Chains A and B, each alone.
Chain A
């Protein structure tokens, strides 16, 4: 059964000047959504996905994302 996947990620500045990661999620019906992760959550996501860069997150199941959310 298909599940939502990470479609991409972009670095953006947070309100406090720390870099954050906006992760785009593509749902089963093709719709796109986004979740903004603070630095700690983003680092954990990259680590959990064994990603060396934001590009490596593409195609990862969204469960990885759910796992790092507080």
Chain B
């Protein structure tokens, strides 16, 4: 008897080849047979008739570092069909980390990834310092597989202490970093992450930014010993500097025979040639044999702000920006002043009001009933205008209400679809588990299928599946995953090709200490299997199974 049989589905095996009808048999966490009719029964069976049976999705850019320690299911990633996540991106990881540096790292995580303090304090016990102890702490908690990166900033902190944020490393320190990275890789790290742009809580460059190139070169040499990944956050706001980084990564890739990836790369109407120029350079380097993978996200990008700041959201409306630049108390007085208020509301009319302010949603408020709702909707209920409502809500909470302007960039499917379909583009950059109080970083895979397969037709179903399964596994050298073939790990998602997608972005208070985050439920995903065990079904929800492993070991 088999452990699990998924019967009668359309198997899209991750290779990109056309899907085919058949059964999937699983034993001891591995695929026994993919296709044909299995006479053998399974201890558990799933009826997949009319559904797609695919390898579990792999998310290569997440920040689930802390969450995995109190939520081994990385909710809601798992219910979207994600069965493996890469975390520790952007130079920040929870290991290797000396006890005296924990507070510093938490502050950097809060600054860069907008992780709430409660996610680190009391939600889990810090039982590790080195990478192998961290891996041991993860074991037994996980419902999905993880491929952790070692963060360059924490490696520098370990070796150089406070000097990590002051200067270049000495040759001895570089050798110590090499030894430390080697130990991380041997303990299961999937690679090294570094950043050229991030700042800490004092807006000071993170430790990785003090590295001279010879340090990066030395660490890349260690990655080369294991064929492991170098993940980089380049100066993505400037195309020319990004091009230079592509060249630099290509040289590292060729010299040390390593894969490299950088993120984010996104489309913007203000810099419409950005993506095409970067991809042209990536293509040039790929032709030389370099492995430089740009990560492109599927979902559009939002802007969030409160009236407490002088957000650039208002910079095209002179009087609004003028008022927003005032100090807090003066701003309160101005917003309460009938003359100023009238001028602001006049500037929001005509046309601009509903179009500009009506689309805004309440991102965070003490009044939970408002959170997630559009200003247009609430204003209509209250017989006011969206702009007036925004002022009134802000005044009621001492300017503490946050608003969200959705789909402000990377939003044109006709431009994004072809980018995602490009053979040189790595679908990723979800940032899962980060920015949780600003927007939902989940459901990007569902959005890939709903927007760019079903609606836009930019990718075939098989090509889209391949992008987020076998191709990702190959890029990251995650052996034995990403394909539904005999002997491969049985990470599987069963979904309805006609309905797979992402749900509405909703605020929930499910973080440690009742903290709020934005999340999205899945649609169309009917069952998720990790290493042969059912971890989620749409009918029964999450199970108690914890079959997740360190995907590199």
Contacts and interface: CB of A to CB of B under 8 A. Distances in A.
Do they bind each other?
yes
A5 to B, nearest CB: 18
B328 to A, nearest CB: 15
Contacts of B302: 13, 17
Interface size class of B (residues with CB under 8 A): 35 or more
Interface string B69-92: 000000000000000000000000
B402 to A, nearest CB: 10
B310 interface: yes
A68 interface: no
Given A19-B305, A22-B268, A34-B271, A52 B322 contact: yes
A58 interface: no
Contact of B271 (A17, A22, A39): A22
Contacts of B236: 15
Nearest to B315: A54
A6 interface: no
Contacts of A35: 238
A31 to B, nearest CB: 13
B238 A36 contact: yes
A42 B310 CA distance: 11
Interface string A32-70: 001111111011001000001111100000000000000
Contacts of A10: 269-270
Contacts of A14: 237, 301
Given A13-B268, A52-B319, 9 more contacts: A11-B315, A12-B268, A12-B270, A16-B438, A18-B303, A18-B311, A22-B270, A39-B311, A54-B315
Contacts of B309: 39
Nearest to A10: B270
B366 interface: no
Interface string B290-313: 000000000001111100011111
Given A16-B438, A17-B435, A52 B312 contact: no
B131 interface: no
B496 to A, nearest CB: 31
A26 B87 CA distance: 41
A15 B265 CA distance: 9
Contact of B312 (A16, A21, A34, A56): A21
Interface size class of A (residues with CB under 8 A): 20 to 34
A36 B237 contact: yes
A17 B238 contact: no
A9 B303 CA distance: 17
Given A13-B301, A19-B303, A36-B271, A43 B310 contact: yes
Contacts of B203: 40
B380 interface: no
A61 B319 CA distance: 24
A13 B310 contact: no
Contact of B313 (A9, A11, A46): A11
B302 to A, nearest CB: 5
A14 B405 CA distance: 12
Contacts of B64: none
B316 A54 contact: yes
A9 B312 CA distance: 11
B227 interface: no
A35 B235 CA distance: 11
Nearest to B301: A13
Interface in B399-448: 405, 408-410, 435, 438-439
B303 A17 contact: yes
7 contacts: A11-B312, A12-B269, A12-B408, A13-B268, A17-B438, A19-B311, A22-B268
B271 A42 contact: no
